[in-house]
Chains A and B, each alone.
Chain A
Amino acid sequence: MRQEILDILRKNSRISDEELAIMLDTDVESVKAVIKDMEDKGIITGYKTLIDWEKAEENVVTAYIEVRVTPQRGQGFDKVAERIYQYPQVTACSLMSGGFDLFVVVEGKTMKEVALFVAEKLATIDSVLSTSTHFVLKNYKDNGVIFSRARKDEREAVVL
């Protein structure tokens, strides 16, 4: 049931426990217990909302930053990653295979604000060798949701 609940919640975390129970043909108490257990164990780490900021007419600028770093003896990449991900501007931070080491997502109100953050905070960290900043111009699809296309029911009346 755990997997089934996760499958539903990852698409719609606002669904009620009651409806989950109906969908999975079980009772509300079991659903509540399984969710609580997953929250306690840190399997479910939070509930967020997907927002198309462009439509909300709020200024949100997102940049994907490739960071190359020198790993530190005994601590590898974890230590430098920790220094980076503590900033609230950083919304995601991952260790990568391939041509660079850390992949950092930074959000800000303007391009300038993000660029300054990279120049002043990220690039100046001791073990950071280089950064390469890519600004997001348009989101087509995020977290499995297609933004650009409003789906409408185009099925025509047919006899069957």
Chain B
Amino acid sequence: MNIKDRIKSHILDTPPSGIRKYFDLINEMKDAISLGIGEPDFETPWTIREEGIYSLEKGKTFYSSNAGFIELREEIAKYMARKYNLSYDPASEILVTVGGSEAIDIALRTFAGSGDEVIIPEPSFVAYKGCVMFCGATPVPLELKAEHRFRIQPEQLEECITDRTVAVIIAYPNNPTGATMDYEDYARIVEVLRDKDIIVISDELYAELNYKGKHVSIAQFPEMKGKTIVINGFSKAFAMTGWRIGFACGHPDALEQMKKIHQYAIMCSPTTAQFAAIEALRNGEPEVRRMVDEYNKRRRVMHDGFNKLGLDCFEPFGAFYCFPDIRSTGLSSDEFCERLLIEEKVLTVPGNAFGACGEGFVRATYATSIENIREALVRIARFVERVR
């Protein structure tokens, strides 16, 4: 028997992430600067780590209830109300997950199956497409445009919707573009979605990293709340990536079914992380502000730097990414990233790794020290001058 013959075609056909190959290269380099990793460079704030350690010292090493500790869900409910003006019942409308990633997966598995279509605005986080394909459903890319600052336009959304559309994934502040959508932008797409039986999966992992105004969730529109699954987490906001903890909020009937997948596949989220997360919500906000202020300064330095090099970059007001247009160099995204890495030892990620329409752009993260950003810009300047 050839084991490969036994593997399901929809798994085999799902391509691996295009980011990977560059990471293998950089691991062998000295003095390389990575603007590639989409992860905070801050350690988890000490007060949060300390609470995790304390829970272990006290021997709190047992499962929690499937949905997560009720204390944590209550804190999440308060947080969602306080920050985003969204009210959810801790008992029936909140599920603690293993990072936002699990929440995305189980939300899709709940609503999408064979023959269904899920709209994914691209360029996008690489996991959406894979998760949709694992469900046997078809991902339908909605091509976001730089001229719209990578915001979803109602006409575009309308064009993508068919009789088979079951869900649309919305993710702002956005990875990889750094784009945000404000209330008016949402109001225009709510017009399209209002009367349709389409689920919105709103990935708001970067909600805290918004450098202009307040984060808006599509669930704030009353007509959308009941059919929106809001996904959020601790990784980006509280620099807790390795803890693997996030959550989903939504209609109790939906959450009940998502919880079923969660309980059979996962049981419950890691409890050390849950204890730490309670502390994060109770006392972590000053640390979040400190990190956001720091990202904001770096953001301005990087954005200013790219534009001065003639790599046009709209001002990204969210997450921790810049998404400059590199077409003026005459190189493709892949060529740009590969040559920049080999010739100047700076890692960026080609825009097409996030969907075909990302071609011509690269993603650079400013979740690294200001010294690294400064040095990277010097090297990129040298590179760009050489290739032009």
Contact = CB atoms under 8 A, between A and B. Distances in A.
Interface in B264-304: 293, 297, 300-301, 304
B38 A153 contact: no
Contacts of A160: 17, 19, 38-39, 125-127, 175
B26 A8 contact: no
Contacts of B34: 153, 155
Interface string A22-42: 111100000000000000000
A25 B37 contact: no
Contacts of B17: 159-160
A121 to B, nearest CB: 41
Contacts of A25: 300
A8 B16 CA distance: 42
Interface residues of A, number: 13
Interface in A18-70: 19, 22-25
A26 to B, nearest CB: 10
B41 interface: yes
Given A157-B26, A157-B27, A160-B127, A22 B41 contact: no
B39 A155 contact: yes
A158 interface: yes
B30 interface: no
B63 interface: no
Nearest to B315: A25
Given A23-B300, A23-B301, A157 B37 contact: yes
Contact of B20 (A22, A24, A159): A159
A25 B249 CA distance: 36
A159 B300 contact: no
Contact of B301 (A19, A153, A158): A19
A153 B367 CA distance: 11
Nearest to B175: A160
B374 to A, nearest CB: 8
Contacts of A23: 297, 300-301
Contacts of A159: 16-17, 19-20, 126-127
Nearest to A4: B293
A23 B24 CA distance: 33
Nearest to B349: A160
Interface of A: 7-8, 19, 22-25, 153, 155, 157-160
7 contacts: A153-B41, A155-B37, A158-B37, A159-B17, A160-B39, A160-B125, A160-B126
Given A23-B300, A23-B301, A157-B27, 19 more contacts: A7-B293, A22-B301, A22-B304, A23-B297, A25-B300, A153-B34, A155-B37, A155-B39, A155-B41, A157-B23, A157-B26, A158-B37, A158-B39, A159-B16, A159-B17, A159-B19, A160-B19, A160-B126, A160-B175
In the A-B complex, the 10 residue pairs with the smallest Cβ-Cβ separation, listed nearest first, are A157-B23, A23-B297, A159-B17, A160-B38, A22-B304, A155-B37, A22-B300, A22-B301, A23-B300, A155-B39
